[in-house]
Chain A
């Protein structure tokens, strides 16, 4: 069995709905039901209206590459064999400042561009954890 050796997220009371959604291959983003503002990472209070109500909304999974960096020298031992690798920030189409860190799949590093349209795909890394990643939208 090919065991996944990279660090896994540690879901907690604020974030478990997010990861449960990922396991079902649904990208659930927290939204304030009162002022309808999305927020990420999950927070106990809406920074816009201070409501403590929350809902989890399945979003389209489409967005654009906002920014990226390319690691050529990894300080974390578990990524040493992966260099060079890119980490992107994807801005989701639902809201201008709603950004998810992730990796791109099916995309060469030299082809990454700001504003590039992408869509979510889920990588089932363990039975409990699926990591949302993004691929170029064709």
Chain B
């Protein structure tokens, strides 16, 4: 069986402005991001024959985007319902599509008015109390933030993790965002600022939690062979994995696995063997890491589950600035969801590609050759290892 290793590459990146109120439609954000990514690749719109995306009832269909772009012959298209785990998953889907000859150039996008439109945190909504939500919402467990609060609490109980350590993630990400013109939050913060930010869902303060963002982000995937003739130095998809372990808990309120499974070991532990195996590398070979960070605690847990430290040592690992640019393992070099914006994972992938191309400006990680990006939705997730 052929491996996906190094068969495909990410060749184009596109972003709209990230804001609290875009003032434009989601379709407008989607096509702007896609067109920019296609232009960045040095491709003509007419060469795009695949479009993939994901949504949580807040986006637009690939068919609408294809129509608006004027694609002469839309081929492969996919709209995956899902949030957290889907960012890398849709890019992996595009890579498999290209590697199997189903399409030649696939644009992957995520677009949403996540603050001015349907708010990502569900603020103001009264979600239905059907399915598993019938056991949660009547008690006031109404948001994905609440589920992650259990994860943080259990990590504190089992491993002695502290809010200070969670705060250090927020501080590092904001420092990175201060060097990122796209970032929504660019003013550096200190641990004092972190502790002064208001409690939202204990143990989380405001600065532990992702932003709500209006925006669009897109990447173009093509074959490694074609990538060598395009505008930028290709960034190859070295390996990919999707999975969850024994208790696949997909999104916010979907807690089947969450109620009975481990709260402190996530999908990363289960997909790491395939991920590192396909790439033929170990965590020590990775130069830059973009970890899905809807909450600060998720960074600590993924550092453990992807093998950068032992289980339970994510907290101590982030001390002394170790995850800042210029140090041992730069993490979330764009500022992550907590400071750049919540584009649901594609912005992490775009940042990793920027770093590997060497065009990340002030926040460039020196000699970045290999990057890890992850996408997480509770217990399920996906990940990519990219190389230049």
Which residues of A are in contact with B by a Cβ distance under 8 Å?
6-12, 15, 39-41, 43, 66-79, 82, 84-85, 87, 89, 97-103, 114, 131
A12 to chain B, nearest CB (A): 7
A69/B260 contact (C-beta < 8 A), A10-B128, A102-B139 known:
no
Residue B159 at the chain A interface, CB threshold 8 Å: no
Residue B229 at the chain A interface, CB threshold 8 Å: no
A77-B122 Cα distance, complex, nearest whole Å: 10
A72/B124 contact (C-beta < 8 A), A9-B134, A87-B141, A103-B139 known:
no
Give the chain A neighbours of B198 by CB distance below 8 A: 72-73
Is A6 touching B132 in the complex (CB atoms < 8 A)? no
Is B129 touching A8 in the complex (CB atoms < 8 A)? yes
Is B201 touching A76 in the complex (CB atoms < 8 A)? no
Is A43 touching B256 in the complex (CB atoms < 8 A)? yes
Is B202 touching A73 in the complex (CB atoms < 8 A)? no
A9/B256 contact (C-beta < 8 A), A69-B153, A73-B200, A78-B126 known:
no
B301 to chain A, nearest CB (A): 15
Give the chain A neighbours of B256 by CB distance below 8 A: 41, 43
Residue of B nearest to A38 (CB): B260
- Name, among A43, A74, A82, A100, the residue most crowded by chain B CB atoms within 10 Å (CB to CB): A74
Q: Contact partner of A71 among B124, B131, B138, B146, CB < 8 A?
A: B146
Give the chain A neighbours of B259 by CB distance below 8 A: 40-41, 89, 99-101
Total interface residues on B, CB under 8 Å, equals 42
Can you list, as one digit per residue, whether each of B127-148 has a CB less than 8 Å from chain A (1) or not (0)?
1111110111111111101100
Q: Contact partner of B201 among A10, A43, A69, A131, CB < 8 A?
A: A69
- Name, among A10, A11, A39, A68, the residue most crowded by chain B CB atoms within 10 Å (CB to CB): A10
Is B260 touching A76 in the complex (CB atoms < 8 A)? no
B326 to chain A, nearest CB (A): 35
- Known A-B contacts: A7-B137, A74-B142. Give 18 more (CB < 8 A): A8-B138, A9-B129, A9-B138, A10-B129, A15-B134, A69-B146, A69-B150, A69-B201, A69-B203, A71-B202, A72-B202, A87-B141, A87-B146, A102-B139, A103-B139, A114-B153, A131-B138, A131-B139
A16 to chain B, nearest CB (A): 11
A67/B263 contact (C-beta < 8 A), A15-B134, A72-B199 known:
yes
Is B200 touching A67 in the complex (CB atoms < 8 A)? no
B141 to chain A, nearest CB (A): 5
Residue of A nearest to B199 (CB): A72
A101-B130 Cα distance, complex, nearest whole Å: 15
A63 to chain B, nearest CB (A): 13
Is B139 touching A76 in the complex (CB atoms < 8 A)? no
Is B132 touching A41 in the complex (CB atoms < 8 A)? yes
Give the chain A neighbours of B45 by CB distance below 8 A: none
Give the chain A neighbours of B122 by CB distance below 8 A: 75-76
Can you list, as one digit per residue, whether each of B53-95 has a CB less than 8 Å from chain A (1) or not (0)?
0000000000000000000000000000000000000000000
